[in-house]
Amino acid sequence: MRTNIHRGGRKTLHVLNDLIRINIDRITGLEKAAHEEETPDARLREAFYRMAIEGRSNVNDLHAKVIRLGGAPVTQATITGKLYLHWLEAHPGFEGPDHSSQLAACIAAGQATEEAYHCALDEHLPSELHELIESQLWTLERTHRHLAELATHA
């Protein structure tokens, strides 16, 4: 049985699915970087893995909300993911020749992700969704600070 979703609900589902796509694209890039042989620094590999795990948790939480709202969550990375496009345009070599370029690309991608979350928070979403997105943004910002610390010690 399919639920009729009113216009505002469709917009909410669109916002949530955009965040899912961004997280899936982010996970793909992080896992690729974590597996690259050019990433010999164990702290950096660990940071990439931890960020990918956080991204998976974000996706799971967002999927649950989309389903609860009667929508169909996206399940795979797409070229339309805003973060993926940002990586392609601004940072063609996410895996990069060294860990400094990896960190720089990851920090830039983190900024793009945070911007997308800020845009989502500007939407008129139910308070429960606003709190979830705000919580995920807080985690992203904390991770971003950690990466910036790694970059200063690289």
Mean pLDDT of 112-129: 93
In this structure, what token pair is assigned to residue 4? 């009729």
Write down the pLDDT at residue 8. 60
Q: How high does pLDDT run on average in the chain?
A: 81
Q: Band the pLDDT of 61: cuts 50, 70, 90.
A: very high
Write down the pLDDT at residue 78. 56
In this structure, what token pair is assigned to residue 74? 């996206």
- Residue 24: what are its φ and ψ, rounded to 5°? -65, -45
**What is the value of pTM for the model shown?**
0.81
In this structure, what token pair is assigned to residue 110? 């983190």
Q: Band the pLDDT of 126: cuts 50, 70, 90.
A: very high
Parse the chain into domains and list their residue ranges: 7-152
Provide the CATH number for the domain formed by 7-152 in this structure.
Answer: 1.20.1260.10
Dihedral sign computed on CA atoms, order 132, 136, 137, 138: positive
Number of other CB atoms surrounding residue 69 within 10 Å: 17
Summarize pLDDT for 75-116 with one digit per residue, the tens. 876 554 545 545 544 544 444 456 677 778 788 888 889 999
Write down the pLDDT at residue 38. 62
